[in-house]
Amino acid sequence: MRIKNRDELVEVLGEKAENAIEILEEGLKAADPYEAVLKTLKLKGSEVFVRDLRAEVKGRVFVVGAGKASGRMAEAVESILGELINEGIVIVPRGTANRYKVKRIHLWEADHPIPSKSGVEGASRILELVRELKEDDVLIVLISGGGSALMPLPANDISIEEKQKLTDLLLKSGASIEEINTVRKHVSRIKGGWLAYNAYPATVVSLIISDVVGDPMNMIASGPTVPDPTTFKDAYKILTKYGLLDRVPSTIRGYIEEGVKGAHPETPKPGSKVFSKVYNTIIASNNISLSAMKKKANSLGYNAIILTSFLEGEAREVGSVVASIGKEILVHDRPVKKPAVVLFGGETTVTIRGHGRGGRNQELVLSAAIKIKGLKDILIASIGSDGIDGVTDAAGAMVDGETVLRAERENIDPEQYLLNNDSYTFFKKVGGLVYTGPTGTNVNDFTMILIK
């Protein structure tokens, strides 16, 4: 049972919450790193199977990786391959290594989201290991969200402190994760396909958990085993766009400017021979979880559709749109007939104007609650698959048409809580918070409309 306060939610929201919880839990199960590896990676005799790929193990097997979910992935890989593994190094967030039981794979702790010296040391060890690979060897790479910060290896004379400053400036600039990773890749010796470059001519099997909307493999953990279509010129344009060219350390600016002029090698591009024996597979993603949720909703008797896995935008505005779709189904039976479940995936944002406490999922749901006030047979829920929504201990929230009426009876004004970005306090008083605890994975958020 992944949602810990099931009974409380059913008491507050009625029996429709039971179905909603079952559907959400199916999404969380599909995103579980251990389960995802077990489903994807198989060993039969001396052959390793990853979905349609069959790789015969003629030489040695090594395991490397980095990310917030990669410790759990390492556990699963070791449970499947066991003594076939010669050696492994997987970088995990500081303070988490002792959660996982592994013998042949060394779990190296580093820092996130700002990269540190321990991450550089771990990445250096990974690079040393892969450079020794021979043609008959197999390298299994475990990639998940957070891998970019956990596995930093700055290019040339760039120091980790300078890389830290770059990351900090980019995070505060408003740049998208795609833009941040484009710049990171061009000041790295391991990202943007460089890990695959150094592993050549070994066979590389990369198992990837996606935390980026739309699953662009070259952007997940900055794509260490994926061809990189971006260029030094792109990185230069991004720094210019956000006014960072004169603010980043001079070594970084100089390196990128030299790269634009052709003084440094570009990241390995699509079509390069170094990717001829590289197999990248997404084993868990928002889309995979939504498909599992749809199947579960169908089995419970609902007409279910996935509306999008690209949900983005201001959380309160998205909440209003989600509510309007719910109303459309209630009144007109479209885009799907009742009983209905509509699923959305992605990641919204919150522009903080107030001084309250909350998260993007709770804010989305509070906004939706205001719009569905008084309506019967409707429930709206939204949770973060990592179990952490904003700076709160909740994963998200769920509401129905009674939520706002219940608040008003207690003289609680939901509009004021929304204006103050104080959704957590609202739901703490009125009920509806969803608790999972940290799930050890991240495939973005799940949003759902359920109509009986």
Q: What is the pLDDT of residue 175?
A: 87
Q: Do 318 and 274 share a structural domain?
A: no
Domain membership of residue 251 (yes or no) is no
Q: Do 332 and 225 share a structural domain?
A: no
Sheet of strand 278-284, all strands in order from the earlier edge strand to the far edge: 105-110, 85-93, 61-66, 138-143, 203-209, 278-284
The CATH number for 410's domain is 3.40.1480.10
pLDDT digits over 229-251, tens only? 999 999 999 999 999 999 999 99
Q: What is the pLDDT of residue 172?
A: 86
Q: State yes or no: pLDDT of 56 exceeds 90.
A: no
Q: State yes or no: pLDDT of 435 exceeds 90.
A: yes
Q: State yes or no: pLDDT of 52 exceeds 90.
A: no
Report the percent of the chain where pLDDT is more than 90. Answer: 88
Q: Do 273 and 419 share a structural domain?
A: no
Contacts of 296 (CB under 8 A, 6+ apart): 22, 23, 26
pLDDT digits over 291-308, tens only? 999 999 999 999 999 999
Query: What confidence category does residue 202 fall into, taking pLDDT thresholds of 50, 70 and 90?
Result: very high
Query: What confidence category does residue 54 fall into, taking pLDDT thresholds of 50, 70 and 90?
Result: confident
Q: What is the mean pLDDT of residues 190-197?
A: 97
Q: What is the pLDDT of residue 249?
A: 96
CA distance 43 to 81: 7
Q: State yes or no: pLDDT of 115 exceeds 90.
A: no
Domain membership of residue 247 (yes or no) is no
CA distance 33 to 289: 12
Domain membership of residue 254 (yes or no) is no
Residue with tokens 């459309």: 328
- Write the burial class of residue 11 (CB in 10 Å: 0-12 exposed, 13-18 middle, 19+ buried): exposed
Q: State yes or no: pLDDT of 260 exceeds 90.
A: yes
Lowest mean pLDDT among 71-85, 115-129, 165-179, 207-221: 165-179
Q: Which residue type sits at 156?
A: N
Q: What is the pLDDT of residue 406?
A: 97
Q: What is the pLDDT of residue 51?
A: 87
Q: Do 312 and 277 share a structural domain?
A: no
Say how many domains are in the chain: 2
Q: Do 54 and 19 share a structural domain?
A: no
Q: What is the mean pLDDT of residues 383-395?
A: 95
Q: What is the pLDDT of residue 126?
A: 98
Average pLDDT, the chain: 95
Q: Do 192 and 57 share a structural domain?
A: yes
Query: What confidence category does residue 375 fall into, taking pLDDT thresholds of 50, 70 and 90?
Result: very high
Domain membership of residue 297 (yes or no) is yes
Host domain of residue 393: 6-30+287-451
Q: State yes or no: pLDDT of 378 exceeds 90.
A: yes
78 beta partners: none
Q: State yes or no: pLDDT of 113 exceeds 90.
A: no
Q: Which residue type sits at 140?
A: I
Q: What is the pLDDT of residue 404?
A: 98
Q: What is the pLDDT of residue 55?
A: 82
Q: Do 325 and 274 share a structural domain?
A: no
The rounded Cα 188 to chain-centroid distance in angstroms is: 21
Query: What confidence category does residue 74 fall into, taking pLDDT thresholds of 50, 70 and 90?
Result: very high
Q: What is the mean pLDDT of residues 50-74?
A: 93
Q: What is the pLDDT of residue 15?
A: 92
Q: Count other C-beta atoms under 10 Å from residue 6's C-beta.
A: 17
Q: What is the pLDDT of residue 8?
A: 96
Consecutive H or E run containing 86: strand 85-93
CA distance 277 to 56: 12
Q: Which residue has the higher pLDDT, 157 or 86?
A: 86
Domain membership of residue 304 (yes or no) is yes
Domain membership of residue 293 (yes or no) is yes
Q: Do 215 and 67 share a structural domain?
A: yes
The CATH number for 193's domain is 3.40.50.10180
Contacts of 318 (CB under 8 A, 6+ apart): 311, 312, 348, 364, 367, 447
Q: Do 129 and 22 share a structural domain?
A: no
Q: Do 12 and 71 share a structural domain?
A: no
Q: What is the pLDDT of residue 287?
A: 97
Domain membership of residue 346 (yes or no) is yes
Q: Do 294 and 215 share a structural domain?
A: no
Q: State yes or no: pLDDT of 171 exceeds 90.
A: no
Domain membership of residue 181 (yes or no) is no
CB-CB contact of 390 with 350 (8 Å): yes
CA distance 308 to 297: 16
Residues 210-228: b if buried by 16+ CB within 10 A, e if exposed: bbbbebebbbbbbbbbbbb
Alpha helices in 176-300 (DSSP H): 177-185, 194-199, 232-241, 250-260, 286-299
Q: Do 361 and 313 share a structural domain?
A: yes
